[in-house]
Structure 1
């Protein structure tokens, strides 16, 4: 059994960089690693992962994918975390959201290659759910309220129809330490910490619920799926809710940060989500039941509080 090849699509993004780190830190380095990027290639990443190959790819057209076949070879595992994931941006340009978020160019490229079998780990979202109840299960109906959610439902359908081996991960809000090459988007815990540290009153929604997942847990899930696929060699067709164990509102998220940091909790002001026009509909309660994830992979994501503690500790060190 030769070395296996892993391709991280969207390797310069937040989850992508954490995945690169996770795969490259495995004892004995059993995988050859490659990653795709779209805009620019951070020098810090090349230095951090000198043995991985970067490829410039346009997911809308598929341009650049052939170069991967020629230089790196056909991957055994592809983790697709590239997406237009800002709901408002998706709302403003539905065509772009569909062309980037539905991985047709990747799947077509893999299908046309001579590779006999590969595993596609496709990142989806909790926003595929309507948001009218607590703790959604995988078999519940998907009724997204915005374009982002709709593009991800389309992606799930495309992958499950076209791929013989796949794992679809419906991720919630992903939080954790900053990446090796800092990403431009604001990170949830760091942002909350930043505003509360100023000692000014701040409003947080108290009626929108999520199950945020610590980024390193999501990486562990992807590593476990890759390892399972390679060692078992059995067909895999999985759909898993990938959230943390706790259902929290934005208000509760802020309260946890304040508690750990020792900030004045009276600065945190509860407001309904309807008090702000975000230019996009947002589901109210898309908390998820993660029993299937825990049972299938025999791992348990850490609590929200513990994840925040680790995130803030990492920020203090950096």
Structure 2
């Protein structure tokens, strides 16, 4: 697995990367809370950044995936210049990553994504996917509880890809360095309850299976921000990306899944 890195180091003048996209993360908030050292080690890309800086004549664009959990969750529709006051270790590790990159790099784009949803990958990911999990629970006729007071702007996975492609193409075509921070969310502020209701409506499940509860009634072993919905005006204006509505994204996701 290390051979490409060795080849690049030896032949760096021929194979300098134009764009490096860092999606690596310890992204389960409870796991981060249980092991803060591991969260910081994985989520702050010090080795990657230092390697890029060590390459002679390299001016790669680093695209870093961050998170909406850098925000406190005390209001709706956070903007990029709002203060970051994370309430858990996961959010703190991502703020640390953003600060490290901002201090060390001269050419980067940090994308603060919300919950990313969409079809299962060709090589299935082990982590439970949000829409598929809701669909699986409701398809079995099991009543389940969903929070009515925890809000996010879930983003369809192909819109995240579109943002990354737009950034990459712009850098490769015009070569202008950037120091960019963008909220990458969907256009809709939705609760967990609304997410479940949307899946039920599209699939035709009995809505009585969905039980509305407050997030304050469940101990998840980690503090979770209540409302980290994001203003995505800057994303739309900067990259001309028009994110998919939550309902359309769910429909596209479920169209690829076999209903059990």
Cα deviation code 1:93-119 (max 9, x no counterpart): 111111110010001001011133110
| Partner residue, 1:9 | none
Q: TM-score, normalised by structure 1?
A: 0.78
Q: Distance in 1 between matches of 2:246 and 2:237?
A: 20
| Partner residue, 2:148 | 206
- Given the alignment, which residue of 100, 120, 127 partners 1:158? 100
What's the secondary structure of 2:255's corresponding residue? helix
What's the secondary structure of 1:315's corresponding residue? coil
| Partner residue, 1:110 | 52
Aligned length in residues: 257
Shift of 1:71: 6.8
User: Is the 1:204–1:254 Cα contact (8 Å) retained in structure 2?
Assistant: yes
Instruction: Give the root-mean-square deviation of aligned CA atoms.
Output: 1.5
In structure 2, the CA distance between the partners of 1:95 and 1:68, relative to structure 1 (3 Å rule), is farther
Q: Distance in 2 between matches of 1:133 and 1:210?
A: 11
Q: Distance in 2 between matches of 1:262 and 1:98?
A: 43
User: Is the 1:65–1:106 Cα contact (8 Å) retained in structure 2?
Assistant: no
Q: TM-score, normalised by structure 2?
A: 0.96
In structure 2, the CA distance between the partners of 1:91 and 1:71, relative to structure 1 (3 Å rule), is farther
| Partner residue, 1:124 | 66
User: Is the 2:52–2:58 Cα contact (8 Å) retained in structure 1?
Assistant: no
In structure 2, the CA distance between the partners of 1:105 and 1:261, relative to structure 1 (3 Å rule), is same
Cα deviation code 1:13-38 (max 9, x no counterpart): xxxxxxxxxxxxxxxxxxxxxxxxxx
Aligned pair 1:182/2:104, yes or no? no
In structure 2, the CA distance between the partners of 1:71 and 1:197, relative to structure 1 (3 Å rule), is farther
- Given the alignment, which residue of 182, 186, 189 partners 1:247? 189
Higher relative CO (Cα under 8 Å, sequence separation at least 6) belongs to 2
| Partner residue, 1:89 | 31
Listed as ranges, the gaps of 5+ residues in structure 1 are 1-54, 58-63
Q: Distance in 2 between matches of 1:106 and 1:297?
A: 26
| Partner residue, 1:51 | none
- Given the alignment, which residue of 130, 133, 144 partners 2:86? 144
User: Is the 2:70–2:86 Cα contact (8 Å) retained in structure 1?
Assistant: yes
**For 1:305-316, what aligned pairs fall within 5 Å after superposition?**
305-316=247-258
What's the secondary structure of 2:183's corresponding residue? strand
| Partner residue, 1:283 | 225
Q: Distance in 1 between matches of 2:5 and 2:33?
A: 28
User: Is the 2:16–2:58 Cα contact (8 Å) retained in structure 1?
Assistant: no
- Given the alignment, which residue of 250, 256, 263 partners 2:205? 263
**For 1:168-179, what aligned pairs fall within 5 Å after superposition?**
168-179=110-121
Cα deviation code 1:89-146 (max 9, x no counterpart): 1101111111110010001001011133110000000000000000000000000000
In structure 2, the CA distance between the partners of 1:148 and 1:276, relative to structure 1 (3 Å rule), is same
Shift of 1:266: 1.2
- Given the alignment, which residue of 239, 245, 248 partners 1:297? 239
| Partner residue, 1:69 | 9
